[in-house]
Amino acid sequence: MKQSPVYVAAAGSVSPLGRGLDETEAALRADRAAIGPLEIFSLLHGQPLPVGQVKDLDSSPVPPRAHRLAREAARMVLRGQPEPPDAIVLGCTTGGILTTEELLRKKEHSPDGYRSHGLLSLVEDIANLCRCTGPALTVSTACSSGAVAIALALNLLRTGQARRVLAGGVDSLSRLTYYGFHSLQLVDRNGCRPLDVSRQGLAVAEGAAMLLLTTEQIEQPLACLLGAGLSCDAYHPTAPHPEGKGARAAMQAAIEDAGLAPEDIDYINLHGTGTPDNDLAEARAIAALFASPPQLSSIKGATGHGLAAAGAIEAVVSCLAISRGLVPGTVGCSQPDSAFAFTPEMTCVQRPVRTVLSNSFGFGGNNGSLVFGDLAHKQVRPSSRDAWLAIHGIACLTGKGLLQATFAHLQEGGAAGGCFPDADLAQRLPARLIRRIKRLPRIALLLAGEAQSNTEGQDAPCAVFMGTGWGALSETWDFLQRLESSGEQFSSPTDFVGSVHNSPAGQVAMLLKATAANVTSSGGDYSFEQALLAAQTLLPETGQSAMLLGADEAHAEFTPLLDRSIGAGGLADGGGGLYVNRDREQAKCLARLAYYGRGGGDDLPDRLFAALGGEGYFHRHSVVVFVGVPAAMQAESGPQLERLWQLIGHSLPACRYRDFVGEFASASAVAAVLAAQCIEAGRVPGALIGGADVMLAPESRVLVLGTGQCLTAMEFFCP
């Protein structure tokens, strides 16, 4: 089966350069710097550092600033579109953190005010705005988030899982990022000077940008999205590999994915943050890949570094370069560093551009490169990719311990909720690994090590896919508390680095030396399902294995504010890990995300039922269901399940797994591991389903359902 080219049907951008394509183009052509002293929140000490901020944004405190930025960009894209997108993929690093910071300073203890803190709240807001009933996914890979979101969208389209996808990135300025980058000594007080011999750092910025990508042929697309490449340095939590090995791998993969050679690239939109190490590493990567580099430049001296928005804003600029014939200048650079094997474009020039390579690199060594081209370069590609992943190793952690202890406890009719003691967790990991990290990355490292250790004859995983509902709460809380208690005079660079959602996956990549894709999803109670979807969409058919993780930590202060499902049952946390690839031989079982819908419509159960195969599916297979019902979603979950049972027409053995493993966002990752364990053992313990043991035949299926705000189905069976 052939897949049509992926067109950029429309684009929207809200950045320090301006609003929309025309204002952005005008600012680029004028070589205008849009960086100035911080204005959007006040400081207790010192002169404001230079930042890139969006002017004249609606000042309403609700919703948070990031949500308002995203809404404005989305409306630009969706204006005049005849139908909603099939899916949304949004990159973000901090969500509604700016509002959270204000609430914490006011000692606000009501959870109602914190409902827009999580990254899922952003993409759900946009999905509601455009009436999208398909997957609404959040990617959080630090400063490459926007580019990685677009790469995931590209592959959703190529594999036929969608026809129209809205993809991009957003972040607002916040105290966390403003003081965090300053604590790392990565901010240039004179503004951002990418590639300059005297560069001293970046300028933190904000913004939002989105592309409407489609496989439907349209008359006047802005460009075609030809390819994407993802990699991980697996080298250091913040510093790039000094030779730019990960950057080169991402660029090379993107160019090959586009069916091009390096000499086919007309212009490179550099990551170009203005930090000495990052610019040098990127320059070395380019020198290693390109015998004769094409024209290139960085726009971050004009925009500042918009974090998750940067890759999406620069994707829009890449489309402008192709559709309007321009190569932006490197604003802020007055004397290019002679250590580079190239000279960047200093001012914007008018010239035809047929192909653009756009780079985005982030903390944790997360690298994403995109290739855009004109219509002459559109490609028709094969679209087949097996959705099933083969599971070869599993691990979980609950309040009762690892998989063996957890499963034994559940078989005896006990519950495994709660939090595994910190001291016991630390004892299970080498001291050198955990010296500077806190609870969530420790959980992730333990799960990854355990899942890999129980594989037989398998190579080390190349890729990491992780889902986390809330990210590293301990590091985020400690950073903000120290900042406030010191009157904004002191902040912890270690806590800042650890606060990004993809920090645990980055630690896992360094442990496993996994240098392929490294993608963190943050979708609230559906975070693990989003990670599974990313894995089955991005993992190649051959040659790569991946570590698939879902984990969250409980935090005494933060969790009750953020997670509305926390109640009388108390705090719980943990997660699950699966070693996966496409090799079915000797696999414990196969798994896939069979359905992901949202929107609260009455027909959600009907759509899930149809996606599984309707009545025939339940006649052919003996099915056991593990149901996830978040405590805060009882009112939504009840009617969904009632309708689904009505469609099935007969009762099924069912387990409400949160009753056993506790209420936390990534509980579905534990349920997935338990499903795999039951299939390997050939039975589901009666204690889980309130009756006798259920023996699993070869044709049996275990479904792990997620209910509530979304309706999802993960399917497991023995190959």
> Which amino acids are annotated catalytic?
143, 271, 305
Q: Which of 210, 60, 55 is nearest to 129 (CA)?
A: 210
For 460, residues 6+ apart whose C-beta sits below 8 A from its C-beta are: 452, 512, 513, 514, 545
CA distance 676 to 416: 17
CA distance 575 to 668: 8
Beta strands 683-684 and 654-656: pairing type? unpaired
CA distance 653 to 118: 34
Other Cβ atoms less than 10 A from the Cβ of 165: the count is 29
What are the CA-CA distances from residue 659 to residues 268, 430, 688, 705, 706 (Å)?
52, 33, 10, 14, 14
Q: Which of 452, 459, 464, 451 is nearest to 508 (CA)?
A: 464
Other Cβ atoms less than 10 A from the Cβ of 220: the count is 8
The single-letter DSSP state of residue 7 is E
Sign (positive or negative) of CA dihedral 93, 251, 232, 383: positive
Give ∠ CA 540-385-622 in degrees, rounded to 5: 115
Q: Say if residues 199 and 278 touch (Cβ distance below 8 Å).
A: no
**Strand ranges (E), 505-599:** 518-521, 546-552, 574-581, 589-598
Sign (positive or negative) of CA dihedral 608, 612, 618, 624: negative
Token pair, residue 150, equals: 């677009």
The single-letter DSSP state of residue 67 is H
CA distance 468 to 527: 5
CA distance 90 to 308: 9
CB neighbour burial string for 238-270, b if at least 16 within 10 angstroms, e if fewer: bebbeebbbbbbbbbbbbebbebebebbbbbbb
Token pair, residue 32, equals: 């205008």
DSSP codes joined into one string, 422-442: HHHHHHTS-HHHHTT--HHHH
Q: Which of 134, 129, 138, 141 is nearest to 157 (CA)?
A: 134
Q: Say if residues 232 and 253 touch (Cβ distance below 8 Å).
A: no
CA distance 686 to 691: 5
* 715 φ/ψ angles, rounded to the nearest 5 degrees: -115, 135
User: What's the distance, CA 242 to chain centroid?
Assistant: 25
CA distance 612 to 632: 27
Token pair, residue 591, equals: 């798994």
CA distance 372 to 94: 28
Q: Which of 540, 521, 524, 541 is nearest to 532 (CA)?
A: 521
